[in-house]
Structure 1
Amino acid sequence: MLPQDTQPISPATARLATGRDRFLAGEWERAEELCRRILAEQPEDEEAAHLLGMVALHDGRVPEALTLFGRAATLRPDYAQAHGNRAAALRRLGRYGEARAACRHALSLAPAESALLHNLGAMLREFGLEREAAAVFRRLIRLAPHNAAGYHGLADSLRKGGGLDEAISAYRTLIALHPGAAPAHGNLGIMLQFQSRLDEAKRCYARALAIDPGYAEARSNLGSAQLLTGELAAGWVNHAARWNTAENAATRFDSPLPSWDGSTLGGKRLLAWGELGVGDEILLAGMIPDLAARGIGCVLETAPRLVPLFARSFPDVEVVPRQTPPHPATAWSDLAAQSSLGDLGRWLRPDFAAFPRRHRYLAADPERVAALRSRYRAMAGGDRLVGISWHSANPTHRDFKSAPLPLWKPVLNLPGITFIDLQYGDRSADLEAVRRDQDVSIIHDEMIDPLTDLDGFAAQVGALDLVISISNTTVHVAGALGVPVWTLLARQTGFLWCWFIEREDSPWYPSMRLYRQAEANDWAPVFERVRRDLSRFPNRA
């Protein structure tokens, strides 16, 4: 006989336990078979329905998994895990609002469940609700002070939400918990680099690489920090590791050609291809004339909207658009090697002495420049023509880089200046607010759209006396054209390595002057310096 306090285990219960073991062991088909047998005998077994849903979710049968999780939650309304996994299935199907509601309901049933809190935080981050996500991760950490995923989620939410100091503290705690975790050291380095604490960041990357020498993200970031601090030779080499990161591997040009090693190529041509954004391609294209000086012919593959401008500016280079499938010129037999534009720097910009004092290397359409300048001067009545841009669309840097138009008041109220809108995208609300609140009308040219007509935008920039802008495509266009340009730099943009540190000039663009924030988020002193200098800026002849 069984002891009086022992209940016999039913066959269904035994099969369910075996099914769980099979699921945890990765034996998905066996786990599914056992669950289906249980449900055939006991259709109201919520545990079997839930486990079968887990198998379906793992196999990518998400609608089926959603149905099974819903069935389990209906059979037992207080089944928090079923509601939580239903949220995960809804999230996989892109039904984010329902997923968020389901996860919140699961948390109401099990408010101290760490996995549910983590899932909710992750979903909120997907919705772009970084501050709300950070609050959830803080709650998770209070409940589970040793939960590494909680500190990681908190730090990443804070980074994108602007709370870098707390993010740094979170990563330091994570490292104290797991000192051998290379990603924790690497991510702390990223936070410090965002704050331009570059020596500390480099030490973090070095520790990450000591733990994992193959950690491509840490090596690439070390390279960008070295470039920022002027260690160009080492920086270019380490930054090349970006092509081994998961983020960039898919964007690397697929070519059987060997990477260029700086040699003369024996009379054959080099395939150079653009990377990152349009502004970066313009910046790095400043090295294309150096290839001709070395006697190296070039095929340049670039963003389609850059083709007219680059073709005019580099008449001895075959400029082709980046497209799918690749342009036939990228596979011609007279090509001996290939290189991204960024990797040219290893051979052409090994130190600051290698930067030529080239006034300009891009050429706008002279007829369009003349026509636009004539039209703007007629509208300005003899005023100086100053183009401005204030907003960045870069999702990583926009909150730091952007300088909202109301902050420009000391500059916009200067007499004798007509301001031209160079901001890409629809910023009509910003322009109207300035007109209403400051009685300043900024000319917006409906005939020029930088997003669709970059060649026309170059002509617009070329028609002006001066450009003042945050770090975006506008300043690269102006600098490459040789137009005087004042670039407003936020302090928390430690990954914009092209501006280096502490300099007030740019070796890339002799016509550029840099105005840097001394303190993070404090634009007022910057605009006061700009106002002072602009009051003395002369008209162009």
Structure 2
Amino acid sequence: MLHADEALGDSIQFVRYAPMVAALGAKVILEVRPAVRPLLAGLSGVAHCVDRSSTPSLAFDLHCPLGSLPLAFGTRLDTIPLAESYLPAPPAARVKAWEDRLGPRTRFRVGLVWSGDPGHNNDHNRSMALRALAPLLDCDVQFVSLQKGIRDRDRAFLGERKDIVDLTDQLTDFGETAALMSCLDLVISVDTSVVHLAGALGVPVWTMLPFNPDWRWLLNRDDSPWYQSMRLFRQPKRGDWTSVVDSVRLELERLVSASRSGAQQHQSKAATTTSQDAILSNCLGKLLWQRKRMEEAVRHFERALKLDSQYLEAANNCGRLLFNLGRYAESLECLNVAELLESKSAALYQMRGACLQEANRFAEAEADYERSIALDPSQAETHNNFGLLHARLGRTEQAVACFDRALELRPDFSAVLNNKALALMNLQLLDDAFAAFHTSLAVDPGNAPTTYNLATLQLLTGDFERGWLGREARWKLPVGLPERGFSQPLWLGDRPIEGKTLLLHAEEGLGDAIQFARYAPMAAALGARVILEVQPPIRQLLAGVPGVADCINRPSASSLAFDLHCPLGALPLLFGTRLDTIPLAESYVPAPPAADVKAWQDRLGPHDRFRVGLVWSGNPDHKNDHNRSMALPMLAPLLDYDAQFVSLQKGIRDQDRAFLGERPDIVDLAAQLTDFSETAALIGCLDLVISVDTSVVHLAGALGAPVWTMLPFNPDWRWLLNRDDSPWYRSMRLFRQPKRGDWASVVDSVGSELERLVSAWRGSDKAPGA
């Protein structure tokens, strides 16, 4: 049961939450004062409406005062629900009865209220005498009194003014007042329950406020977030109703003039074209979005659009939410609807540009950003998004210029400072990048993306002590790692684990899991029974890591028995890893079974040439794929050397498949690489692996197999800078781009070294006939 706990105006204001309570699955009983009961009985979601002070025998399970609902729903200024309107339109028969009483509509109709309840403790401040409105009466308008409880001082003046229609003796309840309001073009009132009624109906209403207004009207604004059809007129100083009435009179004259000329009215009813059901569905969508019930929110926005295909706010809301959910094609459909309704919106083109960018439709995204900036160049967010697009396309200098423009507009825009720092990292202007990260954190301390990105730079430059700590912010990223929800405690190295069962679980990619599995033996050395939970393709491979009692697939069953858990990626922090203390850099994954290796030897045939495994691209869905992968034809110069090349490449792309089909000098048995154990066995037959930065290089390094890793100009943090070896894998050698995108130089360097290695192999005792 929702029960009125304050005055009539408060009840009308807060009853907007009743449909939202009903949307949570409750049967809603509404208990209000008799004067508003018939009006509110038709509110959507209200199963039963009773008079206040209802009988104690009323059956209900829970109750809540209406005035507590804004707190219950976590209402902020930007989440006030149903500001358009929420009360159902009065019955047509009642409206017609009032039209008949008012007579022919020959002039603009304005309802008037000049005083509230004389018993109110603020009545002396918020009410005025009717005579104070006399300047308005000179306007060519049909004035209609909505004033109940007319005071003696006003009754005489009202009797002298035949230009004010007074039928208030027939206003028996708020249902009748609502019907009369539906016949008017505008309501002008002091702060009484009438303004709430007009706003809740979506009727245009001008509210005249004292110098010190009630809390709900806020300060320094002429609109109300509670009612979209409302305009506020404020006293410039205490008691100055004259200035208020003068301002109202000037605006009313403009409105009447516009009405006479047939021009667009200054203010129109908020819900004339949008049905109450559509408005309610849109509002419920916003509520459910706020409560993170995303799929339900989408359904409500879609229903609002189905009820009213011209509903701009619902189209925008649905488009934004679908974008946040990564459903870009559907988001674009909604945003395209919004563009048809409002083609001059800079915010719309900014949002659509971001959606097109995520859908990899870069040329269209660029065009939309340019449209947005042309419409409104003052939006820092648009310049930021445009900068992100430039960065995505490798135009790093242009990206920095966009970020700088955004910062000119908003110097404290922490997200832009973070993005600029990342761009500076990509240019390897590391001192400038550090400065930008620190400035961003000064503006927004503890910001997770900035903390994580700064940690990446710290790790890249060898500052492991601070880097590992900051890297834990990855759990708080907007699109962060999923919490597993284990009931067992997280082990942070803060308690003994001797005799305990410890679950170490992979939380990132395959390469990360292989890299950090080296810590499993160290955890076991502390006396724990270690269970390792990893992705299925690497489970068999890592089951043989020393100290691992059991290796299981991710995600494990909820019934798994263990005492403590820890993500693999947190272990370098827990063990205090520094550059000079990285464990097991020689190898830690056991050699594959001899029978598996022999099976691959048989497939490959005689070992009469130097054998080289090749990998040229990684996961196409990786956010850095465009930077770290290359096309297979880029490796063509290597194929001129007298070596047997073997493809280790999984997921061959269409652009590479044709080239691979034309090169019989590359042995392709990748279809038989069913998991990483098979890949390990194949690597055991090779003399060298040459690969871009993928999980294969971690596999080769963990096996101790020779591996040459080809890196982009701005490498992943784990490969550090300005060195050709890796402290993580002793058998690895690094080949770096000298400038962005320059794979040709990398392949040339690899080719020169490969030629020397092949020549040396030919002269060694490994060569056939030696």
CA separation of 1:198 and 1:305: change in aligned 2, threshold 3 A: same
Query: Counterparts of 1:166-181 in structure 2 under 5 Å?
Result: 166-181=398-413
Query: Counterparts of 1:481-492 in structure 2 under 5 Å?
Result: 481-492=703-714
Q: Do the aligned residues in 2 keep the contact of 1:506 with 1:513 (CA within 8 Å)? A: yes
Q: Do the aligned residues in 2 keep the contact of 1:302 with 1:321 (CA within 8 Å)? A: yes
Aligned counterpart, 1:469: 691
The count of aligned residue pairs is 508
Q: Report the residue type matching 1:420 in the other structure.
A: V
Q: TM-score, normalised by structure 2?
A: 0.59
Identity %: 29
Aligned counterpart, 1:137: 369
Q: Do the aligned residues in 2 keep the contact of 1:313 with 1:361 (CA within 8 Å)? A: yes
| Counterpart pick for 1:320 among 539, 548, 552 | 552
Query: Counterparts of 1:280-291 in structure 2 under 5 Å?
Result: 280-291=512-523
In the TM superposition, residue 105 of structure 1 has moved relative to its aligned partner by: 6.6
Q: Do the aligned residues in 1 keep the contact of 2:534 with 2:552 (CA within 8 Å)? A: yes
Aligned counterpart, 1:422: 648
In the TM superposition, residue 81 of structure 1 has moved relative to its aligned partner by: 7.1
User: Would you say 1:442 and 2:670 are equivalent positions?
Assistant: no
User: Would you say 1:259 and 2:491 are equivalent positions?
Assistant: yes
Q: Report the residue type matching 1:236 in the other structure.
A: W
* Structure 2: tracts of 5 or more residues without a match: 1-136, 145-180, 187-197, 205-215, 217-222, 229-268, 288-296
C-alpha separation in 1, matches of 2:634 and 2:203: 60
CA offset digits 1:190-247 (Å, max 9, x no partner)? 3333444333222222222222222122222221211110011111112122223333
| Counterpart pick for 1:367 among 581, 595, 601 | 595
CA offset digits 1:91-144 (Å, max 9, x no partner)? 799996676466457546754321321232233234332342132112212321
Q: Report the residue type matching 1:291 in the other structure.
A: A
Aligned counterpart, 2:11: none
Aligned counterpart, 1:63: 302
C-alpha separation in 2, matches of 1:252 and 1:352: 30
CA offset digits 1:363-393 (Å, max 9, x no partner)? 2233111220232133xx6122111011122
Q: Report the residue type matching 1:467 in the other structure.
A: V
Aligned counterpart, 2:756: 536
C-alpha separation in 1, matches of 2:559 and 2:728: 29
| Counterpart pick for 1:193 among 420, 425, 447 | 425
CA separation of 1:197 and 1:424: change in aligned 2, threshold 3 A: farther
Q: Do the aligned residues in 2 keep the contact of 1:66 with 1:89 (CA within 8 Å)? A: no
C-alpha separation in 1, matches of 2:454 and 2:739: 24
In the TM superposition, residue 359 of structure 1 has moved relative to its aligned partner by: 2.4
Aligned counterpart, 1:500: 720
C-alpha separation in 2, matches of 1:84 and 1:140: 15
* Structure 1: tracts of 5 or more residues without a match: 29-41, 74-79
C-alpha separation in 1, matches of 2:203 and 2:605: 77
C-alpha separation in 1, matches of 2:376 and 2:184: 35
Aligned counterpart, 1:31: none
In the TM superposition, residue 280 of structure 1 has moved relative to its aligned partner by: 0.7
Q: Report the residue type matching 1:398 in the other structure.
A: D
Aligned counterpart, 1:456: 678
User: Would you say 1:385 and 2:611 are equivalent positions?
Assistant: yes
In the TM superposition, residue 20 of structure 1 has moved relative to its aligned partner by: 8.6
Query: Counterparts of 1:238-317 in structure 2 under 5 Å?
Result: 238-251=470-483, 254-261=486-493, 265-314=497-546, 316-317=548-549
Q: Do the aligned residues in 2 keep the contact of 1:188 with 1:201 (CA within 8 Å)? A: yes
User: Would you say 1:339 and 2:522 are equivalent positions?
Assistant: no
CA separation of 1:197 and 1:297: change in aligned 2, threshold 3 A: farther
Query: Counterparts of 1:95-106 in structure 2 under 5 Å?
Result: 100=332, 103-104=335-336
CA separation of 1:98 and 1:465: change in aligned 2, threshold 3 A: closer
Secondary structure of 2:672's match? coil
In the TM superposition, residue 17 of structure 1 has moved relative to its aligned partner by: 8.7
C-alpha separation in 1, matches of 2:326 and 2:520: 44
C-alpha separation in 2, matches of 1:94 and 1:197: 32
Aligned counterpart, 1:525: 745
Q: Which moved more, 1:212-221 or 1:82-91?
A: 82-91
Aligned counterpart, 2:202: 19
C-alpha separation in 2, matches of 1:20 and 1:55: 18
Q: Do the aligned residues in 1 keep the contact of 2:701 with 2:730 (CA within 8 Å)? A: yes
Aligned counterpart, 1:408: 635
C-alpha separation in 2, matches of 1:431 and 1:310: 31
Q: Do the aligned residues in 2 keep the contact of 1:216 with 1:244 (CA within 8 Å)? A: yes
Q: Do the aligned residues in 1 keep the contact of 2:725 with 2:734 (CA within 8 Å)? A: yes
C-alpha separation in 2, matches of 1:102 and 1:296: 54
In the TM superposition, residue 256 of structure 1 has moved relative to its aligned partner by: 3.0
Q: Do the aligned residues in 1 keep the contact of 2:521 with 2:545 (CA within 8 Å)? A: no
CA RMSD of aligned residues (A): 3.6
Q: Do the aligned residues in 2 keep the contact of 1:300 with 1:320 (CA within 8 Å)? A: yes
Q: Do the aligned residues in 2 keep the contact of 1:168 with 1:188 (CA within 8 Å)? A: yes
Q: Report the residue type matching 1:66 in the other structure.
A: L
C-alpha separation in 2, matches of 1:204 and 1:273: 34
Secondary structure of 1:154's match? helix
